[in-house]
Structure 1
């Protein structure tokens, strides 16, 4: 069994024709559980959760149109899961919970893209990496991984070590493993799964998310996984899954999680 639960329509349109390009590619690659998880910041309904100049320029969807698209797909016999990828925003737990509970999502992805006003994965902010203390940035990032897990609002944490995207990685392995350890301890005490994402292979870091040492801790602490491509175009659906499956199996995983209306079920991997 294969999943691809992290995909975006934002470079196209919220239409059935465009959605079919993704679901057709998933079917072609043998992915039985496929979902769309658009960025929550695109929707007017999240303005009270995350708002800054970069985000506000890109807020142009209404959730009613998004939900309608899925109902059109289901009526047309297309098996696609309805999800959202929400920027985990410290101090906004109540607002995030209210938004999540307002819709009948199959699952919800929580991801960390911002450390205060620093968009860590955005090309526009890349020079900030040279201006900031690397260890402080990593500590603050994994602080958010911990509180994301403790919130228990999310079914999946997206690209758990996205912070490495531009290849800025602390040389002190002890420090790095300490961040991984506290993050996985918090996740192990939550309902949150970890995704193995192939998106990192298409980024400057050129690696899967997560780092193998981090994934090994996930396995050792009993944290379930899903597979995702984080495709923003149809051709990236299920990209490089041979590498993702090999990584999962190399640390011991033999199962992945599937989701249906918030209920999760373990199934054999591969």
Structure 2
């Protein structure tokens, strides 16, 4: 069994024709468990959760249209799961829960893209990495991983070590492993799974998420995994899965978690 739970339609349209390009690619690559997880910030219904100038310029969807798209797909027997990728926002647990509970998602991804007002993975903010204290940014990022896990609002945490995207990584290994350890301890005490994401191979870092040492801690603490491509175009669905599977097996994983309407089931990898 293979999963690809992290995919986006934002570069195209919320139409059945465009959605089908993704599901056709998943079928071609023998991915049985496939889902779309559009960024929650695109929807008018999340304005009370995350709002800043960068995000507000990109808020152009209505959840009504999103839900309707999936209903159309299911009516045509298209095998696709409905999800959302929500920016985990400290201090907004109540609002996030209300939004998540308002829709019949198969699963929900929580990700961290913002450290205070710093969009850590955005090209527009890249120069900020040289202006800010690297250790403070990392500590604040992993603070959010901990509280994301503790919130227990999410089924999957997206690209767990996204903070490395532009190759700004503390040289102090003890510090880095300390962040990994506290993140995985919190995740192990939650319902949250971790994705192995091939998206990092297409980013400046040129590596999978997460770091093998971080994934090893996940395995050692019994945290389940899924596979994801974070495809923003149909051709990237299931991209480089040979590397993701190899990484999973190298640390000891032989199963993946699957989701349907909030229910989870463990299946063998492959």
Task: Give the Å deviation of 1:91.
Answer: 0.1
Task: Give the Å deviation of 1:63.
Answer: 0.0
- Distance (Å, rounded) in 1 between the aligned partners of 2:136 and 2:117: 14
- Distance (Å, rounded) in 1 between the aligned partners of 2:191 and 2:244: 22
Q: Which string of whole-angstrom CA distances, capped at 9 and with x for unpartnered residues, describes residues 68-124 of structure 1?
A: 000000001101000000000000000000000000000000000000100000000
- Distance (Å, rounded) in 1 between the aligned partners of 2:249 and 2:63: 38
Residue equivalent to 2:195: 195
TM-score, length-scaled by structure 2: 1.00
- Distance (Å, rounded) in 1 between the aligned partners of 2:196 and 2:99: 26
Q: Secondary structure of the residue that 2:209 maps to in structure 1?
A: coil
Residue equivalent to 1:186: 186
Residue equivalent to 2:206: 206
- Distance (Å, rounded) in 2 between the aligned partners of 1:95 and 1:122: 25
Alignment of 1:1-270 (within 5 A): 1-270=1-270
Q: Which string of whole-angstrom CA distances, capped at 9 and with x for unpartnered residues, describes residues 113-146 of structure 1?
A: 0001000000000000000000000000000000
Note the residue ranges of structure 2 that are not aligned, 5 or more in a row: none
- Distance (Å, rounded) in 2 between the aligned partners of 1:153 and 1:25: 30
- Distance (Å, rounded) in 1 between the aligned partners of 2:104 and 2:86: 15
Q: Which string of whole-angstrom CA distances, capped at 9 and with x for unpartnered residues, describes residues 160-209 of structure 1?
A: 00000000000000000000000000000000000000000000000000
Q: Secondary structure of the residue that 2:59 maps to in structure 1?
A: coil
Q: Secondary structure of the residue that 1:60 maps to in structure 2?
A: coil
- Runs of 4+ in structure 1 over 2 Å off: none
RMSD: 0.2
TM-score, length-scaled by structure 1: 1.00
Q: How many residues align?
A: 270
- Distance (Å, rounded) in 1 between the aligned partners of 2:199 and 2:90: 25
- Distance (Å, rounded) in 1 between the aligned partners of 2:81 and 2:99: 18
Q: Secondary structure of the residue that 1:37 maps to in structure 2?
A: strand
- Distance (Å, rounded) in 1 between the aligned partners of 2:258 and 2:92: 27
Note the residue ranges of structure 1 that are not aligned, 5 or more in a row: none
Task: Give the Å deviation of 1:234.
Answer: 0.1
Q: Secondary structure of the residue that 1:107 maps to in structure 2?
A: coil
- Distance (Å, rounded) in 2 between the aligned partners of 1:116 and 1:97: 21
- Distance (Å, rounded) in 1 between the aligned partners of 2:9 and 2:116: 26
